[in-house]
């Protein structure tokens, strides 16, 4: 080797080392600065709440109220057991008296019910949790035998045709509802607003409006149940009007950042369908953007399997806020959905019912308890507060040591 070549190599080697070290350093900086993909256990800001994880407890009617639709001590125990959820969304709760669609479902329209719910919110907060109340009007899913003889009301005089409803006199066909007059609708809006006032008095952190599953707000939204004319029927704008006005009314109590909305554009339960679920979802998502609500809770499919389609993708494309998705997610699919950004959080229903410590089980990759459908709507603790935690099942030592 020529002397000047050797000299060049002697100089080049340290320069190469410098560049190699610099490249390693830049790669390290890039890795540190690159945001990690979220997981189900990543914290998230939802409205004005800081949630410790993205494992949401979905609202589940379980018929454990006391007489008078008063939330029971057993319900307080049930919800407090599940306080490790990022957010608990408590079960559908009657906003307005005499609009019950389910025996044993709670209300939030009188002082006894407010006091009953306060026991639950105190218990959840003492356990470190956060809890919203899902407020609800059954509309045409109500029955006069559940409501002191009051005829159900709806956007149009069209009855639910599939199935029957359970009443004090046994199973009965659904009744033909009375179509609400336009001049009655401000009273419905005021009833939802008062329910939000009452929920705040009861200690809830916010409210979720039940705009899904064929109950009143959903009945106005979808065109199979809403064939009225005038300001609340016809176009997307008119059919969404009641829902948006109820959002604004409840936001005046809690602030929009403590109000969520649940929708189910594909769900055919309660004889529901819409001629354009994707268009309806997109329209509604765009209208929600300027309102600044805490989240949009999307039920992605159909309980009964009659309707197929993708409404999550158009919701994600149109809606700029937090999307919580629900219905049929395994833990693995939920992790993938959150990591990909398709949704921001997942609401689990029966998985949370059967596993009060669901976030801990997800973290440990531990097996899940199986839910018992035979006890879903039974009375008492069985299938409600007696599902074991990992520790109670003897799994904690195996997975955490």
pLDDT tens profile 7-57: 333 433 443 443 344 444 434 444 445 568 999 999 999 999 999 999 999
Question: Is residue 382 assigned to a domain?
Answer: no
My answer on whether 16 and 165 are in the same domain is no
Read off the tokens for 94. 């009657």
Question: Is residue 401 assigned to a domain?
Answer: no
Question: Is residue 391 assigned to a domain?
Answer: no
* Element housing 364 (H / E): helix 358-364
Q: Are 254 and 200 in contact (CB under 8 A)?
A: yes
The pLDDT value given to residue 2: 39
Closest CA to 191 of 112, 98, 263, 257: 98
Neighbours of 100 (CB within 10 A): 24
Q: Could you list the active site residues?
A: 215
Question: Which ranges of the chain have pLDDT less than 70?
Answer: 1-35, 396-401
Total tally of structural domains belonging to the chain: 2
My answer on whether 92 and 14 are in the same domain is no
User: Where would I find the H helices in 34-72?
Assistant: none
My answer on whether 21 and 156 are in the same domain is no
Question: Is residue 147 assigned to a domain?
Answer: yes
Q: Are 178 and 201 in contact (CB under 8 A)?
A: no
Q: CA-to-CA distance for 85 and 325, rounded, in angstroms?
A: 15
Q: Which residues form the domain of 97? A: 44-348
Question: Is residue 258 assigned to a domain?
Answer: yes
The pLDDT value given to residue 393: 87
The pLDDT value given to residue 99: 95
The pLDDT value given to residue 35: 64
The pLDDT value given to residue 400: 57
My answer on whether 134 and 7 are in the same domain is no
């Amino acid at each position: 080797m020529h002397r000047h070549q050797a000299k060049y190599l002697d100089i080049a080697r340290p320069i190469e080392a410098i560049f190699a070290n610099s490249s390693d350093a830049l790669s390290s900086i890039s890795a540190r600065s690159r945001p990690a993909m979220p997981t189900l256990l990543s914290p998230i800001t939802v409205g004005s709440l800081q949630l410790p994880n993205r494992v949401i407890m979905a609202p589940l009617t379980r018929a454990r109220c006391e007489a008078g639709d008063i939330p029971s001590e057993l319900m307080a125990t049930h919800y407090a057991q599940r306080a490790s959820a990022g957010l608990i969304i408590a079960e559908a709760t009657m906003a307005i008296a005499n609009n019950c669609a389910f025996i044993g479902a709670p209300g939030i329209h009188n002082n006894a019910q407010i006091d009953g719910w306060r026991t639950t919110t105190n218990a959840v907060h003492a356990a470190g949790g956060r809890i919203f109340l899902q407020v609800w009007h059954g509309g045409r899913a109500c029955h006069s035998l559940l409501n002191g003889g009051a005829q159900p009301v709806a956007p149009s005089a069209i009855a639910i045709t599939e199935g029957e409803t359970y009443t004090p006199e046994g199973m009965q066909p659904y009744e033909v509802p009375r179509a609400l007059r336009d001049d009655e609708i401000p009273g419905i809006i005021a009833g939802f607003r008062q329910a939000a006032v009452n929920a705040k008095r009861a200690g809830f952190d916010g409210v979720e409006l039940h705009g899904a599953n064929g109950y009143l707000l959903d009945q106005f939204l979808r065109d199979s149940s809403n064939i009225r004319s005038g300001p609340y029927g016809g176009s997307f704008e008119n059919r969404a009007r009641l829902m948006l006005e109820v959002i604004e009314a409840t936001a005046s109590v809690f602030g929009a950042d403590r109000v969520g909305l649940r929708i189910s554009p594909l769900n055919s339960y309660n004889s529901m369908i819409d001629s354009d679920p994707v268009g309806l979802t997109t329209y509604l998502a765009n209208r929600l953007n300027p309102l600044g609500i805490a989240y949009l809770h999307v039920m992605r499919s159909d309980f009964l399997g009659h309707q197929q389609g993708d409404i999550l993708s158009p919701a994600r494309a149109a809606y700029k806020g937090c999307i919580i998705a629900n219905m049929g997610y395994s833990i693995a699919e939920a992790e993938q959905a959150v990591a990909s950004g398709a949704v921001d959080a997942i609401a689990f229903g029966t998985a949370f019912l059967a596993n009060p410590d669901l976030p801990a089980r997800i973290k440990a990759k531990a097996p899940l308890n199986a839910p018992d459908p035979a006890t879903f709507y039974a009375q008492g603790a069985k299938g409600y507060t007696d599902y074991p935690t990992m520790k109670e099942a003897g799994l904690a030592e195996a997975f955490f040591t």
